[in-house]
Amino acid sequence: MTATPSPAPVERFFAPCPRGLEPVLANELRGLFAVEVDATDGGVGFGGPRELAYRVNLESRIASRVLLRVGGGPYRNEQALYDLVRAIDWKEIFLPSRRFRVDVAATRSPLTSLEFATLRVKDAVCDRFRADVNVRPSIDKRAPDVRVAAYLTERDATIYVDTSGEPLFKRGYRRDADEAPLRENLAAGLLALSGWSADVPLLDPMCGSGTIAVEAALIAAGRAPGLNRSFGFQKLLWYDGPSWQRLKQAARDRLLAAPHAPMIFASDLAAGAVAKARSNLRLAQIDGFVQVEQADFLSRAAPASHGVLLANPPYGVRLDDQERLARFYPLLGDALKQRFPGWTAFFFTGDLRLPKLIHLKVARRLPLYNGALACRLFEFPIVAGRHGPPA
């Protein structure tokens, strides 16, 4: 009688994400077959076989990284932290020829210096390697092969190895070094929060470099966001190349052809922004899913009788920017009422004056963060005619 193979052990992972997107990330992870999903401030913990890291890195649109828990426990000082890290069998995780770096984050930690804590974690990894195989691995802070992360709370330390490498919002389609105002995973999270689906017309009328349109097109094409990049797990000892290639091939097999009539629309007043959006769509190999044009939103027509409008309007911190925006928002509200009845508009902004000045009734205001900046996603159902007082 053939023995039944034992199930793969359940590993513990943590996926950080932009703050405010934890619920939609949790839903996404459940759809990727994660178990024991637990949303917390700043990310989502989940369980599954070690190879689940392949799928989540490839498919997640919202996670920033995928961290695999490799050790941890209670600690009181730097020596206790060192002992926890040294107890991990690092030679079973990566080769000593790999260069690595250490990152430490903390919430209410009793340790006075995170810099010294980082040094002790690094020493513990190197000392364990030297004790086991008589080789001390090298440190590389700029382009490491392996990233080790420690998260410290008031009483406990959790040690992770990063399976992602570069952050997951780096999809591989941007060629410029400039950091976009809106990261790719945040744009994908905004689409999820809006409830948009690929069979509904979508417009970003202030598209900038096109991040929202690109993320929407990736969804419409069924294109895994990590299909054109490499990952940190490929440098770890448990990496299984054939399994990874099979997973990537399955993702390629489900790619959809561009529709005859695109349902995703993007426009911007600036010609340079339109050119950049078109370039990013082409590099992401989904340009056939989006119609891009140069247009002023205050005068452009709605591309369909109904749909979802999602935009990240400019919001300045200088006084002259604030005054200019205060004049712009009422015009924005008028344009929506005149040309977009039947649509639902979503604006993601750090300017909390927008609902009052746009003169539209707010259906939802969801707190989110763009990096460290507190923002809101405001939802406005657009109906013809005048509205009552702003909510």
Other beta carbons less than 10 A from residue 243's beta carbon: 11
Could you tell me the pLDDT band of residue 297, with boundaries at 50, 70 and 90? Answer: very high
Pick from 12, 7, 6: nearest CA to 48: 12
| Long-range contacts (CB closer than 8 Å, 24 or more residues apart) made by 248-251 | 248/58, 251/58, 251/59, 251/223, 251/224, 251/227
Residue 389 has pLDDT above 50, yes or no: no
Write the pLDDT tens digit of every residue in 87-144: 999 999 999 999 999 999 999 999 999 999 999 999 999 999 999 999 999 999 999 9
Q: Tens digits of per-residue pLDDT, 164-179?
A: 999 999 998 887 655 5
Kindly report the backbone phi and psi dihedral angles of residue 270, in degrees, each rounded to the nearest multiple of 5, phi listed first: -90, 130
Q: What percent of the chain has pLDDT over 90?
A: 90
Q: How far is CA 147 from CA 8, 93, 142, 144, 229, in A?
A: 24, 11, 11, 7, 17
Average pLDDT score over residue span 266-293: 96
Residue 192, C-beta contacts closer than 8 angstroms, at least 6 positions apart: 21, 24, 27, 28, 61, 62
Residue 348 has pLDDT above 70, yes or no: yes
pLDDT of residue 387: 46
Tokens 């591309």 sit at which residue? 303
**CATH superfamily of domain region 184-225+256-381:** Vaccinia Virus protein VP39 (3.40.50.150)
Q: With bands split at pLDDT 50, 70 and 90, how would you rate the model's confidence at 2?
A: low
Domain ranges, ordered by start, for the chain: 11-162, 184-225+256-381
Give Cβ neighbours of residue 38 (< 8 Å, ≥ 6 apart): 26, 44, 45, 46
Tokens found for residue 188:
């994908």
- The pLDDT of residue 5: 53
Query: pLDDT band at 8, cuts 50/70/90?
Result: confident
User: Using one digit for the tens of pLDDT, what is the confidence trace for 45-65?
Assistant: 999 999 999 999 999 999 999
Tens digits of residue pLDDT in 240-270: 999 999 999 999 999 999 999 999 999 999 9
> If pLDDT is split at 50, 70 and 90, which confidence band does 322 have?
confident
Least reliable range by pLDDT among 7-16, 288-297, 314-323: 314-323
Q: What is the pLDDT of residues 223-236, one digit of tens each?
A: 999 999 999 999 99
First to last CA, the chain: 70
CA 170 to chain centre: 9
Q: Are the beta carbons of 69 and 12 closer than 8 angstroms? A: yes
The mean pLDDT value of the chain amounts to: 94
Query: d(Cα 325, Cα 70) in Å, to the nearest integer?
Result: 49
CATH code of the region 11-162:
3.30.2130.30
| Percent of the chain whose pLDDT exceeds 70 | 94
Quick one: average pLDDT of 150-163? Answer: 98
Same fold, 11-162 and 184-225+256-381: no
Task: Name the residue type at position 386.
Answer: R
